[in-house]
Amino acid sequence: MAVALVLGASVLLAPASAGAFGTVDVGGQHAEHEKITRVLSCDATDAPARCFQPKSLDELAGASGTFGAVGAPDRLLEVTQDGSAHCDAGDYLPGIPYAATGAARAALALKACIDSFERHLDEALAAADDLVDADSVIPRQARINFVESGINGGTTEQSACTYPRVASDGARQSAKCRVYNGLGRALHAAEDFWSHSNWADQADPSKPTILPPGTRQTMWSGWNWVWVTPGNSVDPVYSLTNPIGLHKSELVPFLRYPVARDTIPSEADERAGSAPITGCDDSLEELVKITLPECVGRVPHSVLNKDKGLINWRTGGTSDPSTPRGKTADNFARAVDGARRQAKAVWGDLAERVVARYGERRGALMVRAITSDTPWTDCRIGASAGNERAYYPPVGAGTALRSITARVINRTDQALACDVITLDYGEWASMPPDAVAASNERTFRVESNMSSNGKAGGPEGTVTYKIGRTAYSVRFTFNNPIVGSNSFSCGFLRGDRPDATAPYRCAVENQGGNDASPRFVVSAR
């Protein structure tokens, strides 16, 4: 959790150094939440089987200074309002200076975090139902930046999801936005627990964790040292500046989905000293330089957190921890590793629940819609010449200055499976088919429009199909410019290199006209 307050017109974001895993690259933070969540990227070295494509992951994890769904609880108007979003305040030690009533308070704080975690995943699971109709992905619901306007049933676009704290406030957003809101908030809590708690860390071995009976100790209140006086007692005195660490490696059992309720730490566990602790959040004290009474005599967040340091998002490698607890032994590395593994587990749990609730076929389509940048097609969108519409769902056939209705005719005994498609100019009216069966044919359509760089251009791009289980692919190119002649071609690839010796032939028929209807015919030699 990175604390921020509005201090004046010239100060928009003022993160406190106490914070937690950071969300942006300011104030000593290094976008730690983003880099941890990127373990879900298809480009991570230990990516999950159901990994996220780049644009979708940017929205979930944040990118280039944006919060993303996982960082929503750290936004300016939320960060100090709800400790359960960050698993704060679950601190109790069975001895001085804690009162016996602290056990119940700590158990309730941890339960609030766990309940919030599960509620957000319930919201994501429910929202997934709107991603898919009976047998296909609904494009306008599977787009991140698509919301309903409510005007005559029409729609309007937004640049990003808004991720409201109250899920019902985002009811008019796309289903994908709503899934990400729930999933991102749950991931935030799960990741923060590894930073905020003593689950995986260890205390400084050069300092005591339990002091002699009757010891009078001082503690850092977030900005100042204050006395904590236990009085004359024979009970042990727990150090508030070097609390005990549990040094666990296993995933946190009560931050899985659905939550196994019998794993949640109870008041009895707190009294026995077997429950993990999370710190009392003193970030606000450090920022505004005021000692607040609620954290005096308790383990503070500023002592326990392992928030800041450098993370290699691809591998999970860490360096340069910058908090006292994070610098102790390998605490920062263990917190990051655990948070990455927990994030993968939480996403895997949600994906499994989606399939279990909605059935194999619909569930698989929902998972595809959640993870894919263009879930309305199996084709991968390749690099295009700045044409953002290459990623848009198909718009349907309409009138245009130039169009191409292409027919792919497969006269081989192998199925053609869509691989990579590019669209340098124009927009998809209907997508290239995911597959063209042997001895079959299918069509796709592209139309001209105003390109993203402000220049009108006729449809231009490529479509590549893999040929069965062979090493070959066939690539079709098309261009129907506003000014100039049409050009169409096809050729074969072996791997990513052109191959004129492929045991196939390809011909292009019927290439002319403003509304061109080329036929790409693939056959065996």
Give Cβ neighbours of residue 432 (< 8 Å, ≥ 6 apart). 377, 379, 408, 418, 421, 444, 463
The three-class DSSP label of residue 7 is: coil
Which pLDDT score, from 0 to 100, does residue 334 have? 98
For tokens 């993990």, the residue is: 276
Residue 49 structure tokens: 């089987």
Residue 329 structure tokens: 């032994």
User: How far apart, in Å, are the Cα atoms of 239 and each of 43, 244, 300?
Assistant: 43, 8, 11
User: How far is residue 304's CA from residue 492's CA, in Å, rounded to a whole number?
Assistant: 60
Give the closest residue to 254 by CA, choosing from 178, 326, 189, 180.
189
The three-class DSSP label of residue 16 is: coil
Give Cβ neighbours of residue 85 (< 8 Å, ≥ 6 apart). 1, 73, 78, 113, 116, 185, 188, 189
User: How far apart, in Å, are the Cα atoms of 413 and each of 24, 30, 269, 418?
Assistant: 53, 53, 66, 16
**pLDDT of 25-35, one tens digit each?**
655 678 999 99
Helix axes 175-196, 54-61, angle to 10 degrees: 60
Give the closest residue to 506 by CA, choosing from 434, 369, 412.
412
Q: Which helix (H) or strand (E) holds 472?
A: strand 472-479
> Structural domains in the chain?
83-354 (no CATH), 380-524 (2.60.270.50)
User: How far is residue 223's CA from residue 213's CA, in Å, rounded to a whole number?
Assistant: 27
Instruction: Give the alpha-carbon dihedral of 145, 146, 147, 152, to 10 degrees.
Output: 150
Exposed, middle or buried by CB within 10 Å (0-12, 13-18, 19+), for 131?
buried
Which pLDDT score, from 0 to 100, does residue 170 have? 83
- Secondary structure of the chain: what % helix, strand, coil (to 5)? 30, 20, 50
Low-confidence ranges of the chain (pLDDT < 70): 1-28, 79-82, 145-160, 219-227, 229-233, 285-291, 450-456
User: How far is residue 67's CA from residue 59's CA, in Å, rounded to a whole number?
Assistant: 8
Which pLDDT score, from 0 to 100, does residue 384 have? 81
Give the closest residue to 84 by CA, choosing from 105, 49, 111.
111
Give the closest residue to 27 by CA, choosing from 15, 41, 39, 45.
15
The three-class DSSP label of residue 251 is: coil
Q: What is the pTM of this model?
A: 0.85
CB 60 within 8 A of CB 184: yes
Which pLDDT score, from 0 to 100, does residue 216 have? 75
